[in-house]
Amino acid sequence: MTPFNISNLGLRNFRCFDSLDLEDLRQVVILVGKNGSGKTTILEALSLFSPGKGLRSAQSEDLKPYGLSVPWRVKASFEINPAEILWLETHLGEEKTRKVLINDKPSRQIELNKILKVIWITPLMDRLWVEGPEGRRKFLDRLVMGFYPEHPTLINKYTRALRERNLLLRERNNEQSWFNAVEAQMASLAVQITKHRLATLEHLNHFQSFNSNLFPAANLTLFHTYPKNEVLDLTNEDIMREWWARNRNRDLTIGKTLEGPHKADLKVVHSLSGRPAQSCSTGEQKLVLLSIVIGNARAIAESFGKPPILLFDEVVAHLDPKHRAVLIAEITNLQSQIFMTGTEADLFPEVGTDAYIINTTDLIKN
C-alpha cells in the first residue's frame, strides 16, 4: 500500500490563525498545546479536504477569524511521487460558499472524495451511542460516503423529496397523483440509500474482525422501528411505494412521514460482552468507536487503494498505554497518516521518534 500523506499545509485567515504554514509533515503528526491554542482548528482545516462542513459542522462563513470579514483559505500539498505533487485548496468563495480547487482547477466538493478519504473522531462523538439516532445516522452516512461517493447526493435528493411529501400532507393532501409521483422518487432513493448502508456495514463488520483483541469488533446492524407486526423491506421499491401510499391518511394526521431511511438507526453491540453500546462503560464506548474507525480505515485502504487520513481529537491521550501502543501500531501498519491532539507531548510516548510534534501554543499570535 502506498501512503498518501499531506506534506505541507497552509492556513490563511482561518479561525484563530492569520497565517500558518506547516511543512514536511510526516505519517504521524502530534499537535500539542494549551487549551484554545488551535489544535482542533488545524484538524478542522484538514477535515475540509472531504465534502461537507468538516468536523465541527460549521458554516463556511464562520470559519474566518471572529469579527473580521476576510475570506479564509486552506491549502495542502501531497507528494504522490518525487516528481508529482497534488495541490488541494478550499476557500470561502464570493457567494459565501466553500469552493474547492484541485491542482488550481475549480472542482466540486464531491470530487475530493475521489482523491482522498478523511475520517475523524472528536470529543463530541463520545455521546454518539447514548444520544438520539440522528447523530448515529449521520455518522453511518459519513462512513458510507467513503465507499459510495454519490451517497450524500442521494441523501440530499431523498431529503428534498421527503420535505415535499411532508408539505403535500399539510397543504395539498387531495393531490393523489402528486403523492404517487413524489413517493415513487422517495422509494427509488430509499432503496439505493439502504443498499449502500447495508453494504457498508457488511464491509465494516468484516474488516473489524482483523482488529486486535484490545479493540473488539462492534457488531453493526441497521435498525428501523415500525408499528407492531409490520416488517418493512427498505430494499424493495414496490413495498416502499405501497407503504407510503397506504399510510398517507395516518401521516396526514401527524403532518409528517413516519417511516423511511430518514428514521434508520445504527445498532451497535460490543462483541465480547454482547451488550449494546449504550449500555457499555464510557471506556468501552470509546473502544467501540475506535474499533469501527480502525475497521473502516482498513476497509477503505482495501477498497480505495489508499489509506484514509485520520484526525483524532483528544482521543489517544485518554487511552491506557497498552491500547495506545496497539492503536498506533494498527495505524502505522495501515500506513494512514494520522493527526492527533493532546495537551502535552508526554501523553504520546508510544509514537516513537518518527512523529512530527507541533506545539500550537507557539504558533498562535496573542
Partner 1 sequence: MARKNEIQLLVDQFARLPGLGPKSSKRIVLHLIKNRTQLLEPMVKMLENFTEIIDHCQICGNVTLHSKCDICSDENRQKNVICVVESVIDLWALEKTEIYRGQYHVLGGVLSIFEGIGPEELGIPQLINRIKHEAISEVILAMNATVPGQSTTHFIVEQLEGLNIKITTLGRGIPSGGELDYLDSTTITSALNSRQEY
Binding site for partner 1 (CB under 8 A): 94-95, 148-150, 154, 157, 160-161, 163-164, 167-168, 171-172, 175, 177-178, 180-182, 184-185, 189, 192
Residue type, 179: F
Q: Specify the residue, 260 or 342, whose C-beta has the smaller distance to partner 1.
A: 260
CA distances from 338 to 63, 117, 118, 148, 275 (A): 23, 12, 10, 23, 30
Q: Report in angstroms how near the CB of residue 188 gets to partner 1 at its nearest.
A: 8
CB of 111 to partner 1, least distance (A): 11
C-alpha cell, 32: 500539542
CA-atom Rg of the chain in angstroms: 22
Cβ 151 to partner 1 shortest distance, Å:
9
Q: Considering Cα of 332, then 346, then 364, then 69, what sign does the dihedral take?
A: positive
Q: Residue 81: count other Cβ atoms within 10 Å of its Cβ.
A: 7
Work out how close the CB of 159 gets to partner 1 at its nearest, in angstroms, rounded to a whole number.
Answer: 10
- Whole-number Å distance between alpha carbons of 361 and 366: 10
Site of grid cell 495537551 = 343
Shortest CB 245 distance to partner 1, Å: 12
Those residues with Cβ within 8 angstroms of residue 253's Cβ, 6 or more apart along the chain or in another chain? none
Taking the C-alpha atoms of residue 366 and residue 170, their distance in angstroms, rounded to an integer, is 54
